[in-house]
Amino acid sequence: MKIPVLSRLLKSRASPKNRLYGSTYTFFFGGTASGKTVNERTAMQTTAVYACVRILAETIASLPLNLYKYTDMGKEKAIDHQLYYLLHDEPNPEMTSFVFRETLMSHLLLWGNAYAQIIRDARGQILALYPLLPDRMTVDRTTDGQLYYEYRKDTGYVILRPEDILHIPGLGFDGLVGYSPIAMAKNAIGMAIATEEYGGKFFANGASPGGVLEHPGVVKDPARIRESWNAVYQGSGNAHRIAVLEEGMKFQSIGIPPEQAQFLETRKFQTEEICRIFRVPPHLVANLDKATFSNIEHQSISFVVHTIRPWLVRLEQGMNKALLRPSEKGQYFVGFVVDGLLRGDYASRMQGYAIGIQNGFLSPNDVRTLENMNTIEHGDIYAMNGNMLKLEDVGAYANTKRKEVSQ
């Protein structure tokens, strides 16, 4: 009796839908309040979006990615496992690990989802990982509640099982399909596109406001005069040329100068808005207005803790779930190495290493490994300062305890 009930529950379960498709697609993309069309490709033509996506994708792709094995002493690299080579060096014959992870991160940041096809042999061992375009993928359920992935190729559609897909979803409403940050923030990005286009047209028109030519009499052929004026004075290459006005004509400016319209301030604010979308400190996209020598290091560390780390956890857990067999999940795990990003200046690092060695939780070889140096003989010894004593053996307290014991 339990099986039919469970079957009905599975059939009645709401199917995960990628809301960027179907009848609601135009709600997310398309027109904006600024009148500009925003999608993943037009957004990348904005310098702030391109810079944020590049910084996040390249930073995460440059971090060492290892497969570890649990041991009695903690963990060690599982270099003998086939998955270690795929993740650390070459996920497929066409890509390096850096390019593969950079591609997945760019998909996550633009579309809100990252997909990769898992190629296995007859024994189920993973042979390669190939990224798939998110805008061609649809996630759905069968009538009995089973997940499946439908990928649109140039020659038709391919149905893929969940075990054949590495899916890293971003922030979403159903926990299965992420939503595009570009779609969610389309108005802010659209305004950035509009201000950039305005600046381009401003210089295309000679870096001077529009205006009118006033004639004291009746102009018989105004179109000819306008075309003649534009041919000589329009465009940034013709800026500052001396105008020659005939028949008593006068030029009257009617435009608003950009400084009065706060054009540059608007562009800076939109850059900060886009940085806010991706949680990237403005100084990383060359906006140094609020950066100082005293706080830029702490901003960089905060960037690692509050921006990079959540993405790393999302990637690690997604890879552990999709790439490890059930029998391996208690023995192996995927992990990024972020120690290099958290290191301070040289003097601070040396002071921290000295404290670690003196207090016995670091060895000289631990320090040399962190500094990318070869280990040395006898460098694995953990030692502590010999002046440290137990409280019961210190001074008057120890003498009082001894007297109590003798009595």
- Position 107 scores a pLDDT of 95
Kindly state the tokens that stand for 247: 């028949």
What average pLDDT score do residues 302-320 get?
Answer: 92
| HEC profile of the chain | CHHHHHHHHHHHCCCCCCCCCHHHHHHHCECCCCCCCECHHHHCCCHHHHHHHHHHHHHHHHCCEEEEEEECCEEEECCCCHHHHHHHCCCECCECHHHHHHHHHHHHHHHCEEEEEEEECCCCCEEEEEEECHHHEEEEECCCCCEEEEEEECCEEEEECHHHEEEEECCCCCCCCCCCHHHHCHHHHHHHHHHHHHHHHHHHCCCCCCEEEECCCCCCCHHHHHHHHHHHHCCHHHCCCCCCCCCCCEEEECCCCCCCCCHHHHHHHHHHHHHHHHCCCHHHHCCCCCCCCCCHHHHHHHHHHHHHHHHHHHHHHHHHHHHCCCCCCCCEEEEECCHHHHCCCHHHHHHHHHHHHHECCCCHHHHHHHCCCCCCCCCCCCCECCCCCCHHHCHHHHHHHHHHHHC
pLDDT in tens, 131-169: 999 999 999 888 888 899 999 988 889 999 999 999 999
pLDDT in tens, 175-231: 888 888 888 878 888 777 777 777 666 666 554 555 655 656 665 666 766 676 666
Question: What is the end-to-end Cα distance of the chain in Å, rounded?
Answer: 78
Q: Is the pLDDT of residue 8 over 50?
A: no
What mean pLDDT is reported for the chain? 78
- Position 398 scores a pLDDT of 58
Kindly state the tokens that stand for 108: 């996550």
As beta bridge partners, residue 74 has 71
Cβ(27)–Cβ(38) below 8 Å: no
pLDDT in tens, 314-331: 999 999 999 999 999 989
How far, CA to CA in Å, does 301 sit from each of 305, 307, 340? 6, 10, 11
Q: For tokens 């100082």, what's the residue?
A: 292
What average pLDDT score do residues 107-130 get?
Answer: 93
- Position 230 scores a pLDDT of 66
| Half-sphere exposure at residue 39, Cβ-oriented, CA atoms within 13 angstroms | 9
- Position 44 scores a pLDDT of 85
How many C-beta neighbours within 10 Å does residue 314 have?
A: 17
Instruction: Evaluate the CA torsion angle 239, 242, 244, 249 in order and state its sign.
Output: positive
Nearest alpha carbon to residue 117 among 142, 85, 151, 84: 151
Nearest alpha carbon to residue 166 among 114, 239, 201: 114
- Position 163 scores a pLDDT of 93
pLDDT in tens, 37-75: 777 888 888 888 889 999 999 999 999 999 999 988 788
How many whole angstroms separate alpha carbon 298 and alpha carbon 208?
43
- Position 191 scores a pLDDT of 75
- Position 194 scores a pLDDT of 77
Weakest-pLDDT range from 3-17, 63-77, 128-142, 244-258: 3-17
Cβ(115)–Cβ(137) below 8 Å: yes
Q: Is the pLDDT of residue 26 over 50?
A: no
How many whole angstroms separate alpha carbon 137 and alpha carbon 231?
50
Q: Is the pLDDT of residue 33 over 90?
A: no
Q: How confident is the model at residue 11 (pLDDT cuts 50, 70, 90)?
A: very low
> What does residue 65 show for φ and ψ, rounded to 5 degrees?
-120, 120
What are the residue ranges spanned by the domains of the chain? 23-135+167-207+257-338, 210-254, 343-407
- Position 339 scores a pLDDT of 77
Q: How confident is the model at residue 127 (pLDDT cuts 50, 70, 90)?
A: very high
How many whole angstroms separate alpha carbon 39 and alpha carbon 31?
10
How many whole angstroms separate alpha carbon 119 and alpha carbon 117?
6
Q: How confident is the model at residue 305 (pLDDT cuts 50, 70, 90)?
A: confident
> What does residue 67 show for φ and ψ, rounded to 5 degrees?
-100, 125
How many whole angstroms separate alpha carbon 180 and alpha carbon 29?
10
Kindly state the tokens that stand for 387: 């002046």
